[in-house]
Amino acid sequence: MSASYVRASDAPLRPPPRGHAGPLAWLRENLFAGPGSTALTLGLGLLLGWLAYQVLDWTVLRAVWTGADRSACAVPGAGACWPFVWEKFPQWVFGFYPLGERWRPVLTFLIGAAALAPMLMPAAPAKRFNALFLLVAYPVIAFVLLGGGVFGLPPVETTNWGGLVVTLVVAVTGIVLSLPLGILLALGRQSELPVVRGASIAFIELWRGVPLVTVLFMASVMLPLFLPSGMSLDKLMRAIAGLSLFASAYMAEAVRGGLQAVSRGQREAGLALGLSRWQTTAKIVLPQALRISIPNIVGIFIGLFKDTTLVLVVGIYDLLGIINAGLQDSKWAAPQTANTGYFVAALIYFAFCFAMSRYALFTEGRLARTGRR
Amino acid sequence: MSLGEARQRHGRSPWNSVRLRGVALQVLLLAVIAALFYALALNTYANMASRHIVSGFGFLWRKSGFEVSFSLIPYTAEDNYVRALMVGFLNTLLVSALGIWLATALGLAIGLMRLSRNWLASRLAAGYIEAVRNVPLLLQLFIWYRLVLTPLPQASSAIILGPAALSNKGLTLPAPQFGPGVWTAWLGLGCALLLTVALSFWGQRRRERTGVKPPVVLLSLLAIIAVPVLFLAAAGWPVTFDYPVRGNFGFSGGMTLVPEFIALLLALSIYTAGFIAEAVRAGIGAVARGQGEAALALGLKPGLAMRLVVLPQALRVIIPPLTSQYLNLTKNSSLAVAIGYPDLVSTGGTILGQTGQAIEVVAIWMVVYLTLSLLTSAFMNWFNARHRLVGR
């Protein structure tokens, strides 16, 4: 055999066969795979194009951008009424919070964001300290800043709170209060002691079985009856109490899922090392369980954030409540005012919830990669 | 408990006994719960005495004095509170049942679309799911209420569609009025159901013998519709229709589906469909890929492979989250109170406002919703047990 058949160099790379790579092939495979697929693509494409045009037409092309009152927007054929949003937006964020004091909610929000950001980043240090600050110190700071009455801050009644501030206060307080209660309930539900387990199950199933609207009604009309005479909670606090009890039942179920995912060996190893039951639970089982349940806890927070809208049923002006109330303003009475208000509300809620659900997905993916599930 | 027993043997003080500490803890918990309830009861009693509220359910038999916009049973302001609550309860059931049906159909369609190999279909379904799940239901309800109500004309210039009329008062339809012979229809329905059972047995046997599947479902549907109609015709047609008559302020007679009902139904089913779609996707994803591929290799068409091989297996995974979505929909129907559809919570709220009997009304709500929840989960558990894969 002659060695002349042996190649001295690599054969030149040839392009892949046409129709198997490149954008055209991608199109054929994913959009025009057959007559059925092509018809589906065309039909849905038309629908999407029509929808996109309608939205663009309404929000931009036919929209009214400037004006001082309804006369600008009450034009036949006009689209979104943006001047209404420009005028009302500060109220949507701050409610009836006094104008000169509005730096206080802003500062509260900034402190919260500054403490929360390193909490959400897995690489950031001092998680334990940070969590303690967020769960214990921050609510106190926030209520002092928002409510005032001490350190020379003029008091601001909760009836003047409103808008996005109330939405955030209710959602954050709800989660901060319901997390410890939920952990206790989840541990109680796993307990070997029949009374503890029974009481936990009864509590959890009671709240999970009833709609939030009835819980809020209950908090607003029954709670005053339960309290000793002379002691009273204002409307906002009652709603927060109801919402927290409601959320704690769901939180308990999320934490229970995490507890069940921690392998038995972890607990047994802790006991074998001579740790007491409480030490084993607090130092070995719970940290792992909470880590696993982070995506579900974020999910519950999203639910809670959306559910805060229901407080308008008991007469509290959260973001949706105040937008809804602003629609009654005769100064802006025009056919498209309400649609514009709801459109902006939907955008704000979507931005918050979508960001949170992406974060839940991210932690979920991280857990899956580290093989902790 | 072997560890506990070991400790018990070696411990010197009785406090080292796990069992004893357990008993002590439980007694303590019971005492705390009892004390809490006692304190609450005392406070409540004192507060109610100072507000001159008489507790008890006696108020339920008083005259209600308020009208409702939508009712499945005859009701006037002269009826008592029990009947008003009954109206609300039936309205809750109606909107929940229809909503569950619509949400399941829509959710299944969107979930399958999400898994489609067509990129555009899959992305659109994903967009639907994200949009619907990330906006509060109450806001969606307000939006649907506006969208339903805005294009509708005043009752004086209603859109007439044959015997029906569409206006901002709702969709007015002729109401069937049943005469004394209407029991024949129920008899016919019973016969039709028996016939359906017989048909399915016959179809199964015929399929086993010949390999050809007779159109059992079609025949059953036909029987369920045709047999009661035939029975009614034989009884001399005891059904008349009450046609709506236009008055000065809308329509009288007939029956009206109020816009609140339509908006609530749309909002509930479109919202819940997003969650159901995700459950469907997760369930189908949980079925081993080999199952679908094996079905295709056996020569089943893609649609049949999905229907006969993949979906039945996915159902086991889908049922539990589906149950909780159904329960959520039923509970969420209480948002009706925000747009004034007279459901259980809405009518109860009116009664609460009139009488101040907060504890009683809230107790009724809780009992009704808890019962509905427990019944649904009991049914779903039974269903789940029946469809569990045996021996895996």
Query: Do residues B274 and B107 make contact, with C-beta atoms less than 8 angstroms apart?
Result: yes
What are the chain A neighbours of B3 within 8 Å (beta carbons)? 271
Q: Which CATH architecture has domain B81-134+258-387?
A: Orthogonal Bundle (1.10)
Of residues B50, B134, B142, nearest to A357 (C-beta): B134
Q: Which of A90-94, A124-128, B172-176, B327-331 has the highest mean pLDDT?
A: B327-331
Q: Tell me, what's the pLDDT at A84? A: 83
Closest-CA distance, B309 to chain A, in angstroms, reads 22
The answer to whether residue A298 neighbours chain B at the CB level (below 8 Å) is no
The answer to whether residue A218 neighbours chain B at the CB level (below 8 Å) is yes
**What domains can you pick out in chain A, each with its CATH number?**
83-98+156-369 (1.10.3720.10)
pLDDT in 10s for each residue of chain B, 392 residues? 455 555 555 555 666 677 788 888 888 888 998 988 888 888 887 777 777 777 777 777 777 777 777 777 777 777 788 888 888 899 898 999 999 999 999 999 999 899 888 889 899 999 999 999 999 999 999 999 888 877 777 766 777 777 777 777 777 777 777 777 777 778 888 888 898 899 888 888 888 888 887 788 888 888 888 888 888 787 777 777 777 776 666 666 667 778 888 899 999 999 999 999 999 988 888 888 899 899 999 999 888 888 889 888 888 888 878 888 888 899 999 998 888 888 899 888 888 888 878 888 888 998 999 888 888 778 777 877 776 655 44
Distance (Å, whole) CA A160 – CA A211: 28
Give the pair of three-digit tokens for residue B233: 């015709």
* A75 — pLDDT class (breaks 50, 70, 90): confident
Q: Which of A225, A278, A327, A348 to mutate to test the interface with B (most CBs of B within 10 A)?
A: A225
Distance (Å, whole) CA A121 – CA B71: 54
Query: Do residues B129 and B137 make contact, with C-beta atoms less than 8 angstroms apart?
Result: no
Q: How many helices (H) and strands (E) does chain B have?
A: 13, 8
Distance (Å, whole) CA B308 – CA A91: 56
Q: Which of A217, A275, A318 to mutate to test the interface with B (most CBs of B within 10 A)?
A: A217
Closest CA to A93 of A315, A326, A357: A326
The answer to whether residue A346 neighbours chain B at the CB level (below 8 Å) is yes
The answer to whether residue A190 neighbours chain B at the CB level (below 8 Å) is no
Q: Which residue of B has its CA nearest to A349?
A: B135
pLDDT in tens, A270-285: 999 988 888 888 888 8
Say if the Cβ atoms of B345 and A324 lie within 8 Å.
no
The answer to whether residue A263 neighbours chain B at the CB level (below 8 Å) is no
Closest-CA distance, A193 to chain B, in angstroms, reads 7
Query: Which residue carries 């008003």 as its tokens?
Result: B84
Q: Which residue of B has its CA nearest to A191?
A: B22
Closest-CA distance, B359 to chain A, in angstroms, reads 6
The answer to whether residue A44 neighbours chain B at the CB level (below 8 Å) is yes
For chain A, list the strands marked E by DSSP.
Answer: none
Q: Which of B139, B301, B381 to mutate to test the interface with A (most CBs of A within 10 A)?
A: B139
Distance (Å, whole) CA A211 – CA B291: 40
Closest-CA distance, B55 to chain A, in angstroms, reads 12
The answer to whether residue A209 neighbours chain B at the CB level (below 8 Å) is yes
Give the pair of three-digit tokens for residue A306: 């959306």
CA B301 to chain centre: 34
Give A231-293 as a DSSP string: ----HHHHHHHHHHHHHHHHHHHHHHHHHHHS-HHHHHHHHHTT--HHHIIIIIIHHHHHHHH
Q: Which of A55, A268, A309, A337 to mutate to test the interface with B (most CBs of B within 10 A)?
A: A309
Give B241-259 as a DSSP string: EE--EEETTEEESSEEE-H
Say if the Cβ atoms of A222 and B332 lie within 8 Å.
no
Q: B65's torsion region: left (phi>0), alpha (psi -120 to 50) or beta?
A: left
Distance (Å, whole) CA A286 – CA A262: 9
| Number of Cβ within a 10 Å radius of residue A133 | 15
Tell me: pLDDT of A101 over 70. Answer: yes
Say if the Cβ atoms of A271 and B349 lie within 8 Å.
no
Say if the Cβ atoms of B146 and A302 lie within 8 Å.
no
The answer to whether residue B24 neighbours chain A at the CB level (below 8 Å) is no
pLDDT in tens, A46-67: 999 999 998 898 888 887 888 7
Of residues B33, B46, B334, nearest to A199 (C-beta): B33
